[in-house]
């Protein structure tokens, strides 16, 4: 049996096994950020962190939590304690035998951007992928398609023996699109390190982050429900962030250690902002030494350096791409970036049995975690080092700088079908010689409504990327309401058209318009439907011809 099957055999004892070395916190210790605590770390030869630290703390402070596996004690000061008192303690305790560091119990945050409405009217392609899951929202997704999951799913949807732990706000483990993929070897599929109990369920309806992240990595695929996750691997929920999305260094470190001790093959950290700390580095080193692959979000600092923990050598740092495979404008960048993945406007599960689209490197990280799960399902004998190298070798260069994409955009199809230790075939299906224009046809459509008045909606915009192998011609048709005058404008470089900035226009005094353009293959179409007079619903149709 492999390492994971041995650990799963502990059954209901798994949660106890995984918490070895973690002492319970003081009753009443609040979840989330712990700004009045100092973390004191001891060397590997010290048997008890509490014993090493206890005699060195001042009378107004107390030890509120210890973890002997990671070798630290958390010391709490009164809220009114002066900052200088804590600084004095940090300097003095470093003189104690066995003490190696003393640092603030800093706060890390969920790395998520604003909520974005999913566009139910978005144009969809008629081109059939290799494997089409029956999840009803799949046609509104782009992330699995961008990383070529359809080809990977031909071989595997993901093995339940491969486990992905989500260190986050907690997962709604009874969500209809997540329940069947939650790891049943642990009570309630996880542990709550923020509240120190065995139920990692989100505390409020505002705690969407963990459920969204978990759904990206391993929401049930091809189950006729909701959206499609990247994999059907098993999910563990390690709740370490509170209702505000913040979590303490110690809670997150404990959650990482617990995940590794549970035998998690992959640990996802969609969090950051706490800076480099000794304890977080040690927690990641511990998990990596136990065989876990750690994947983390690079940060949403609009081009700032890569955030910790993603910046550690033991962690795979992930940047975010938008649907057009351009770097998301919020993504951090730097030499630590290892892989890129879709993170802009990603659809997934949220609490209250619902679904929504969110943006952030928080969304890109679990895409990589899910692809790692698919790769390990296909190649179960890979170590975490080998799996990491395999993801690097099978990534796709999308034309960005190395500090923006690392080895490239993660690719599920390559990772599943390429023998580890080899490079993927750069051209597995050579394109045939182009035929006549119209040999390949792709269509897309959308519906909308334009109205006038103070609160009216005077125009709608759309974008369309060419889908045929060798595009040669496109026709855009607007079918508007009778008695109205709607105009149609088109750009060929993807920029958003306006009534004064466009490449082609059709503005006859009616509700029906049509634009035909010849294509060379480099175009991206921007479309504007504008109300000149009248109001009502319309249908926008696009026919693209290829050779």
Distance between CA 238 and CA 225 in Å, rounded?
25
From residue 358, how far is each of 117, 244, 309, 524 by CA, in Å?
8, 17, 21, 24
Instruction: Identify the pLDDT of residue 504.
Output: 95
Instruction: Identify the pLDDT of residue 10.
Output: 28
pLDDT band at 452 (very low <50, low <70, confident <90, very high): confident
Of 3.30.1640.10, 3.40.50.200, 3.40.50.2300, 1.10.600.10, which CATH number belongs to 110-417?
Answer: 3.40.50.200
Instruction: Identify the pLDDT of residue 22.
Output: 52
- State the fold for domain 24-105: Alpha-Beta Plaits (3.30.70)
Cα 216 to chain centroid distance, Å, stands at: 6
What percentage of the chain exceeds 70 in pLDDT?
A: 90
Instruction: Identify the pLDDT of residue 29.
Output: 64
Give the model confidence (pLDDT) of 343-379 as tens digits.
999 999 999 999 999 999 999 999 999 999 999 999 9
Instruction: Identify the pLDDT of residue 159.
Output: 97
What is the average per-residue pLDDT within 455-467? 89
Q: What is the largest CA-CA distance in the chain?
A: 87
Top-tier CATH class for 440-546: mainly beta
Instruction: Identify the pLDDT of residue 117.
Output: 41
Residue 204 has pLDDT above 90, yes or no: no
Tracing tokens 């909520």 back to the chain, one arrives at 115
CA-based R_g, the chain, Å: 26
Give the model confidence (pLDDT) of 86-129 as tens digits.
999 999 999 999 999 999 999 999 987 655 443 333 333 333 44
Q: What is the pTM of this model?
A: 0.73
pLDDT band at 434 (very low <50, low <70, confident <90, very high): low
The secondary structure element, H or E, covering residue 246 is strand 246-248
From residue 529, how far is each of 199, 200, 271, 300, 485 by CA, in Å?
50, 47, 40, 33, 11
Instruction: Identify the pLDDT of residue 492.
Output: 95
Instruction: Identify the pLDDT of residue 144.
Output: 97
pLDDT band at 430 (very low <50, low <70, confident <90, very high): low
Question: Which residues are annotated as catalytic?
Answer: 168, 209, 362
What percentage of the chain exceeds 90 in pLDDT?
A: 76
Distance between CA 333 and CA 319 in Å, rounded?
7
Give the model confidence (pLDDT) of 56-88 as tens digits.
999 999 999 999 999 999 999 999 898 999 999
Residue 32 has pLDDT above 90, yes or no: no
Cα dihedral: 8, 14, 17, 23 (round 10): 150
Residue 143 has pLDDT above 50, yes or no: yes
Name the pairing type of β-strands 354-358 and 115-116: antiparallel
Name the pairing type of β-strands 163-168 and 266-269: parallel
| Cβ neighbours, 10 Å, residue 307 | 27
Distance between CA 347 and CA 334 in Å, rounded?
27
pLDDT band at 433 (very low <50, low <70, confident <90, very high): low
Tell me which DSSP letter residue 68 carries.
Answer: T
Q: Which of these ranges, 179-183, 253-257, 428-432, has the smallest mean pLDDT?
A: 428-432
Residue 11 has pLDDT above 50, yes or no: no
| Cβ neighbours, 10 Å, residue 282 | 22
pLDDT band at 139 (very low <50, low <70, confident <90, very high): very high
Cis peptide, bond prior to residue 309, ω within 30 of zero: yes
pLDDT band at 423 (very low <50, low <70, confident <90, very high): confident
What is the average per-residue pLDDT within 465-472? 91
The secondary structure element, H or E, covering residue 374 is helix 361-378
Whether the CB-CB separation of 264 and 284 falls below 8 Å is answered with no
Whether the CB-CB separation of 252 and 105 falls below 8 Å is answered with no
What average pLDDT is seen over the chain? 89
Greater confidence (117 vs 501) lies with: 501
Where do the domains of the chain lie? 24-105, 110-417, 440-546
pLDDT band at 14 (very low <50, low <70, confident <90, very high): very low
Greater confidence (509 vs 295) lies with: 295
Instruction: Identify the pLDDT of residue 184.
Output: 85
From residue 170, how far is each of 210, 255, 312, 387, 405 by CA, in Å?
5, 11, 24, 26, 29
Laid out side by side, the sheet with 512-518 consists of: 440-450, 536-546, 471-479, 512-518
Residue 6 has pLDDT above 80, yes or no: no
């Amino acid at each position: 049996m492999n390492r994971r099957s041995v650990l799963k055999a502990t059954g209901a004892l798994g949660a106890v096994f995984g918490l070895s070395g973690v002492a319970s916190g003081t009753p009443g210790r609040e979840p989330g950020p712990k700004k009045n605590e100092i973390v004191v770390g001891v060397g590997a030869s010290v048997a008890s962190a509490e014993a090493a630290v206890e005699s060195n703390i001042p009378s107004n402070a107390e030890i509120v939590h210890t973890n002997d596996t990671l070798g630290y004690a958390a010391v709490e000061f009164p809220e009114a304690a002066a900052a200088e008192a804590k600084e004095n303690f940090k300097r003095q305790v470093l003189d104690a035998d066995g003490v190696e560091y003393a640092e603030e119990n800093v706060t890390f945050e969920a790395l998520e951007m604003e909520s974005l409405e999913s566009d139910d009217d978005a144009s969809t392609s008629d081109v059939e992928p290799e494997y089409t899951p029956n999840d009803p929202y799949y046609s509104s997704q782009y992330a699995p398609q961008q990383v070529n999951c359809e080809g990977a799913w031909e071989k595997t949807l993901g093995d339940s023996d491969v486990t992905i732990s989500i260190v986050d706000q907690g997962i709604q483990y009874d969500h209809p699109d997540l329940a069947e993929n939650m790891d049943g070897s642990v009570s309630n599929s996880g542990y709550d390190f923020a509240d120190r109990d065995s139920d990692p369920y989100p505390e409020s309806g505002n705690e969407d982050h963990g459920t969204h992240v978990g759904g990206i990595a391993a929401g049930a695929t091809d189950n006729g429900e909701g959206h499609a996750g990247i994999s059907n691997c098993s999910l563990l929920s390690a709740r370490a962030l509170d209702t505000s999305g913040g979590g303490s260094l110690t809670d997150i470190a404990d959650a990482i250690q617990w995940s590794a001790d549970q035998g998690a093959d992959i640990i996802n950290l969609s969090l950051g902002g706490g800076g480099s700390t000794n304890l977080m580095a040690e927690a990641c080193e511990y998990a990596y030494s136990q065989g876990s692959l750690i994947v983390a979000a690079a940060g949403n600092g609009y081009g700032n350096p890569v955030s910790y923990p993603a910046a550690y050598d033991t962690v795979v740092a992930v940047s975010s791409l938008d649907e057009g495979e351009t770097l998301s404008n919020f993504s951090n960048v730097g030499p630590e970036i290892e892989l890129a993945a879709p993170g802009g406007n990603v659809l997934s599960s949220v609490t209250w049995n619902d679904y929504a689209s969110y943006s952030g490197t928080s969304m890109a990280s679990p895409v990589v975690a899910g692809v790692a799960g698919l790769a390990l399902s296909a190649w179960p004998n890979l170590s975490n080092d080998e799996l990491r190298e395999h993801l690097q070798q099978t990534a796709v260069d999308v034309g960005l700088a190395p500090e923006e994409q690392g080895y490239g955009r993660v690719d599920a199809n390559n990772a599943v079908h390429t023998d580890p230790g080899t490079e993927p075939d750069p051209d597995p299906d050579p394109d045939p010689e182009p035929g006549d224009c119209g040999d390949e046809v792709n269509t897309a459509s959308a519906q909308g409504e334009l109205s006038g008045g103070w609160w009216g909606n005077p125009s709608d915009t759309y974008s369309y990327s060419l889908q045929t192998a060798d595009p040669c011609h496109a026709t855009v048709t607007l079918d508007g309401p009778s008695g109205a005058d709607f105009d149609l404008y088109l750009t060929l470089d993807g920029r958003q058209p306006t009534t004064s900035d466009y490449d082609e226009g059709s503005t006859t005094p009616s509700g029906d318009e049509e634009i035909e353009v010849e294509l060379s293959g480099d175009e991206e179409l921007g479309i504007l439907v504008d109300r000149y007079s009248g109001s009502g619903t319309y249908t926008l149709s696009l026919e693209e011809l290829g050779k």
